[in-house]
Each structure stands twice: as structure tokens, then as C-alpha cells.
Amino acid sequence: MRITELRKTVGKTDLYIEDLKIESGRIHGLVGPNGCGKTTLLKLIMGTAEPDSGTIDYEGLRPAEITMMSQRPYLMHTSVYENIIYPLKIRGIRIDDAEINALLERAGMLEIKDQYAGSLSSGERQKLSFLRATVFRPKLILMDETLSNLDAESAGLFREMIIERHRDDGSTWLIVSHQWDAMNELFDEVHHMEKGRIVKNETP
């Protein structure tokens, strides 16, 4: 995917991405201080916000193949299980119960699969949002500080899940994280953002 001369004014911030290449099949990090425009950029890529001008060339990627996990995940007013299978339902993908249960088990959420999603703790909400966003095997995954409320053990588990998924299907990841976040060890490439601009791209 290639982003060119993308502009969007939100509040007092002018987002301007002159030229950003999101190489497919890699894990990209997006880091920068609060309010620099990271969430806005993800929304523009996801298509939930409209740019003022500029272009995003998806290079053949279809909207249904992109997923975004937001900072404050919106969960449906149903059970944990129903939330997870929803993306499969709407895409008409066959639901393999055993596979879903294995996923829940791995995430340590099997016992709460019938629990009302609204009753989950913030860490559990983030885990559920991760499982729901990735269950249909999207090709591009946008993550907005999604694992920030997890304990170290859970965060480690989800990092492992990202690595495995990436290895299995060559998906592309764009992950917003904090400078000292343990997520950073995953990144093939890191894009640094400041005041609405990309100021540095590096390969750690």
C-alpha cells in the first residue's frame, strides 16, 4: 500500500503524509507522542475517516480484507463467542466450532465464552477485540494500542499469536505502540510520527 500527499485536518492538528509505503507481508510499527495523528492515520487507511485530499493506493487490497482494532474496542451486546464469530458470519465463512474453541482456550477465555461481552474487564475486551479482528484472516491488520492493557504474560501470548499468524499467511500489520512497548521487538520497520507527519522510517 502506498500513501501519497494525504491531508486531513482534525482539531488543531494537520495530518500530512507526503509518502508512506506500507510494504505487504511485513510488520510495521507506528510510534509517536499523544495527539500526533496515529489514530487518524489508521482511520483514513481503514476508510472510517475521509481525507481532505491525497491518495491511498491499496494495490489490490479489498476493504473486506482489512481490519482495525481500535484503542477503545466496540463490542457487540452479545456473548464473547457471538462477538468472535460475527466477522465470519457476515462474510459467509464457515464456522468451525472446534477451531473457535481452540482459539478461546489459547487466549485463556474458554470459560467465559458465553459471558456477556459488556461485562469484560478492559484487558479481556482487548483480547476479544484481537480475536474478533483476526478470526477471518484479514490481509492487513491495523492495531491501535490494542494490547496496552494486558498483563505481561497475556501480552507475550498475543505477540506470539501475531508472529505465528504472520508466518502462516504473510499478512501485513501496522501496529501503533509506545516507544518502550514490548511490541516493538516485532517490527520489521518503524515509522516515527510527529505533529501529523512521518519524520523517520527505520528498519530496526
Specify whether the CB–CB gap between 4 and 19 falls below 8 A. yes
- Across the chain, which distance is largest between two alpha carbons, in Å? 49
Which of 22, 31, 39, 138 is the binder for ligand ADP (CB under 6 A)? Answer: 39
In angstroms, how far is CA 46 from the centroid of its own chain? 10
Least distance (Å) between residue 49 CB and Mg ion: 12
Least distance (Å) between residue 49 CB and ligand ADP: 9
Comparing CB distances to Mg ion, the nearer of 66 and 109 is 66
Alpha-helical regions (H) of 92-176 = 97-106, 122-134, 152-169
Which of 22, 39, 150, 196 is the binder for Mg ion (CB under 5 A)? Answer: 39
Specify whether the CB–CB gap between 80 and 128 falls below 8 A. yes
- The residue nearest ligand ADP at its CB is 11
Which of 14, 35, 136, 149 is the binder for ligand ADP (CB under 6 A)? Answer: 35
Q: Helices H, strands E: what count in the chain?
A: 5, 9
- Residue 50 as a binder of ligand ADP (CB under 6 A): the answer is no
Supply 36's cell numbers. Answer: 500526533
- Residue 40 as a binder of ligand ADP (CB under 6 A): the answer is yes
**Contact residues: Mg ion, CB under 5 A:** 38-39
